Structure 1
């Protein structure tokens, strides 16, 4: 059976497994739905096991399919990497890259991309990162983006992670704040009203998530889901806010705010490049990773 196995059957199997849909798998590999169904039947007959069953409006893999995927995915990834490594990449050809990034990364990265005259015909497109780790991993797995830039410290064995840059937290207030001058104590911090930022994916406030100490309850005047809106609010009132230092430096002069050292112990915010292992040896993806790393002088 192994000597007569058509490896294209495994390619079809993997596409259907990842999409849980014959229609979407057919679109990905450029085949018709009947063609994909026919190849799946051939694989079913060769292996002698049921691979997929109906589940609602879609299909679901059987235990045998899950085991097959577990066994063949590393080998297919190695084959893909070997073939990708033989391809060439040039900025003289049209190429569009899609990157998932958070708001701070977008604000830092886009000016660097626009100022880069060496990109040639390459277009780097920034999209908002997804709100859950599961959705982010699934989207990268489906090749809906080339890579992501993320600070989440989660483990995904099928993915490659590379350090990009580090950030930390600071306190900001408007320059004319009536009670806070060039520094802020922990007591002052708790006495003031706060503009907070909620990290939706982690379901925690930015200050709590990247602080060693457990912070006490604060007097919250407003809660934001955007760093830029948080800083804009601080610039127009007497509240305080905890923000990332890189963002504060970018907008301190424009928003007439001052940056103060936090009266608690920060946990570094470490941003990493994240892409699927199958893209590790791709000349295009390697070029993109090196290009992004060249934009940041502060390394982890």
Structure 2
């Protein structure tokens, strides 16, 4: 069987297995659906057993497919990494990386990417990370993105993380606030109206998630899902808000706001690179991780 086996058949098989869909596999590989179906049928004839069965509108892997992918996928990854190592990652070759990130990280990262004149023919595209953790993990597993920048901990054996940079939360108010200037006490924190920001995935407010103390109920004037809209409201009202220090300092001068240390004990906001294990030794992914770390080295 090995003498006649085409490695391309295994690549098609693994892609179909990941997507559970011939259509999506064909789109990823730049092939037609009949072309993928034909190669899959050819592989099934060679291994002598069915690999997929129909399930609803899609397909489901058989036990044979599950056993095959368990051995084949790591081997294909090793082969790909070995070939990349021989060639070396070269920025002269056209390559697009997709990075999932939160809004504040995207706002920090995009100017750094634009100012980088060492990228050559490589492009780094930023896309908003998913509020649903399962969707995020699925996308990374299915190669929809090369990595994600996250502050949440993910307990899954298929992924690893690397530290990127550390942030902290602070309190902001407009510069001409009638009662606040230079600092804020715990008592003042509760006397003012708040514009809150809710973290959708964690289902908790930013102020509560990144402070050690349990915060009593605050006077809420508005709730936001965007840091920029939160800052805009603060710039035009007498409300205050808790937000990340990196974003506050980035836009403080432009929006006319003042930044205070938070009056409670803050928990560091640790941003990490979340990467699938198959990319751990990939020269291209290692280059991307190193490049992102270099951008945030001074943060």
Q: Please, what TM-score do these two structures have when normalized by structure 1?
A: 0.89
Deviation track 1:199-246 (CA, whole Å, cap 9, x = no partner) reads 122222111222222222221111111111101111111111000001
Instruction: Show the counterpart of 1:171.
Output: 171
Distance 1:214 1:69, change over 3 A: farther
Distance 1:26 1:121, change over 3 A: closer
Does the CA-based 8 Å contact 2:172-2:259 persist in structure 1? yes
Distance 1:123 1:6, change over 3 A: closer
The structural deviation recorded for 1:180 is 2.2
The structural deviation recorded for 1:292 is 1.4
Whole-angstrom distance in 1 between the partners of 2:96 and 2:42: 36
The structural deviation recorded for 1:48 is 5.1
Instruction: Show the counterpart of 2:151.
Output: 151
Deviation track 1:83-141 (CA, whole Å, cap 9, x = no partner) reads 22223333333332222111111111111122222223332222211221222222222
Whole-angstrom distance in 2 between the partners of 1:96 and 1:269: 28
Q: Is the aligned partner of 1:130 residue 2:130?
A: yes
- Secondary structure of the corresponding residue to residue 108 of structure 2: helix
Whole-angstrom distance in 1 between the partners of 2:87 and 2:201: 37
Q: Is the aligned partner of 1:266 residue 2:245?
A: no
Whole-angstrom distance in 2 between the partners of 1:80 and 1:120: 23
More divergent stretch after superposition (111-120 vs 41-50)? 41-50
Instruction: Show the counterpart of 2:279.
Output: 279
Whole-angstrom distance in 2 between the partners of 1:87 and 1:133: 35
RMSD: 2.3
1:1-300 → structure 2 map (5 Å cutoff): 6-45=6-45, 47=47, 49-298=49-298
Deviation track 1:45-81 (CA, whole Å, cap 9, x = no partner) reads 5555443221221112234433443444333333332
The structural deviation recorded for 1:269 is 0.9
